Amino acid sequence: MTDRNIPVTEDELHAYVDNELPAERRGDVEAWLASHPDDAARVQSWQAMADLLHTRYDSVIDEAVPKRLEIERLVRQPRKWVYGAVAATLAAFIVGGGVGWLARGATAAPSALQNFTVHAIEAHRLYVVEVRHPVEVPGSERSHLQQWLTKRCGWIVRAPELTNAGLKLVGGRLLPSSAGPASFMMYESASGERFTIYTAKSAAEATQMRFAAEGKESTLFWADDGVVYAVVSTGADRGRLSQVAQAVYDQMEKKGG
């Protein structure tokens, strides 16, 4: 028997849409949706998107994948990015209490990823207010910054090009994390709006993009190829954060190409 007073997490909402939710929890989720119209609207939007994807791609899903392509990435990418993109473009989630997570799914995320987002937000909060010393290596030395962080971190670190999002690279620095070195890069718009990208090693499997927040800071984060990424902002709306995070994600996906 389950407790219907337990809040429904975002992971459970995704599982409900994907028909992967345990049977004993399905009634609780449906009761939750009946009394939470905002969540019901989000689920309806995800279901509509899933139906559209099935309509467009079910006919080719059994086609052979060319050997020259990375099969693992092709197989896992649709759910990882599509659902993240859908979630990121919907209205903001209901603000939660406790530790300040906005995304209900954050409480269900593996502790390693939850700790990572805490570190990413703390790093952003610490350095984004700096005027004279926000970074160790300035953005004018992009090539050196990438080479240095790659050598110290142990994976290919790239400073993505975000001019299409109206952002210029301020620079970056090396930071610690619970799993070893972490890379940290800062971007700034002409109006002074700042975003940071925090990356570190992770044992987590590849994950879809997720949203979390604490105080005024919010982040979209995901894991891929043993590295976890977080794009963090202060005060940016979900649409703006999604725009920047998608630009970063797209360029990180091309890192092996």
pLDDT means per 10 residues in the chain (257 residues)?
Answer: 62 80 86 84 72 57 48 40 42 31 38 80 93 93 96 93 96 89 96 96 78 88 90 91 93 63
Are 113 and 84 contained in the same domain?
Answer: no
Order of strands, sheet of 217-224, starting from the edge strand that comes earlier in the sequence:
137-138, 168-177, 180-188, 194-201, 227-234, 217-224, 210-214
Are 165 and 110 contained in the same domain?
Answer: yes
Tokens of 217: 């800071």
Cα-based angle 109, 111, 116 (whole degrees, multiple of 5) = 95
Q: How many domains does the chain have?
A: 2
Q: What per-residue confidence (pLDDT) applies to 64?
A: 56
Q: What per-residue confidence (pLDDT) applies to 76?
A: 41
Q: What per-residue confidence (pLDDT) applies to 138?
A: 95
Are 142 and 216 contained in the same domain?
Answer: yes
| Residues pairing with 172 in the sheet | 137, 185
CA distance 189 to 230: 18
Q: In this structure, what are the phi and psi dihedrals at residue 63, rounded to the nearest 5 degrees?
A: -70, 145
Q: What per-residue confidence (pLDDT) applies to 78?
A: 45
Are 123 and 214 contained in the same domain?
Answer: yes
Are 163 and 41 contained in the same domain?
Answer: no
Q: What per-residue confidence (pLDDT) applies to 247?
A: 94
CA neighbours closer than 13 Å in the CB half-sphere of residue 251? 16
Query: Residues 160, 146: contact at Cβ < 8 Å?
Result: no
Are 194 and 236 contained in the same domain?
Answer: yes
Q: What per-residue confidence (pLDDT) applies to 5?
A: 56
